[in-house]
Amino acid sequence: MVEFNKKIKERFSIRKFKSDNIPDELVKEILENARWAPSGLNNQPWKFVIIKDSQIKEEVASQTHYSQIISNAPLCIAVFYDKDVGYNYVKDVQAIGAAIQNMLLAIHNLNLGGVWLGEILNKRQEVERILNVPESFELMAVVALGYSTEKKAKRSRKSLSELVYLNKYDHKWIVSD
Ligand SMILES: Cc1cc2nc3c(=O)[nH]c(=O)nc-3n(C[C@H](O)[C@H](O)[C@H](O)COP(=O)(O)O)c2cc1C
Q: What is the pLDDT of residue 159?
A: 92
The ligand 1 atom at the shortest distance from the C-alpha of residue 64 is: 8
174 inside domain: no
* Average pLDDT of the chain to the nearest whole number: 96
Return the best residue to mutate from 101, 115, 139 for the ligand 1 pocket (most ligand atoms within 8 A of CB): 115
* Alpha-carbon span 120 to 139, nearest angstrom: 9
Say how many domains are in the chain: 1
**CATH code of 117's domain:** 3.40.109.10
Using alpha carbons, list the distances in angstroms from residue 86 to 30, 131, 134: 23, 21, 15
85 inside domain: yes
* Alpha-carbon span 2 to 41, nearest angstrom: 32
173 inside domain: no
Segment 133-160 mean pLDDT: 95
Model confidence band, residue 177 (pLDDT cutoffs 50, 70, 90):
low
Instruction: Specify the pTM.
Output: 0.97
Q: What is the pLDDT of residue 74?
A: 98
Q: What is the pLDDT of residue 175?
A: 79
* Alpha-carbon span 123 to 126, nearest angstrom: 5
24 inside domain: yes
150 Cα–ligand 1 center, Å: 16
Q: What is the pLDDT of residue 174?
A: 84
Segment 71-99 mean pLDDT: 98
Model confidence band, residue 176 (pLDDT cutoffs 50, 70, 90):
confident
Contact present, 82 and 45 (Cβ < 8 Å): yes
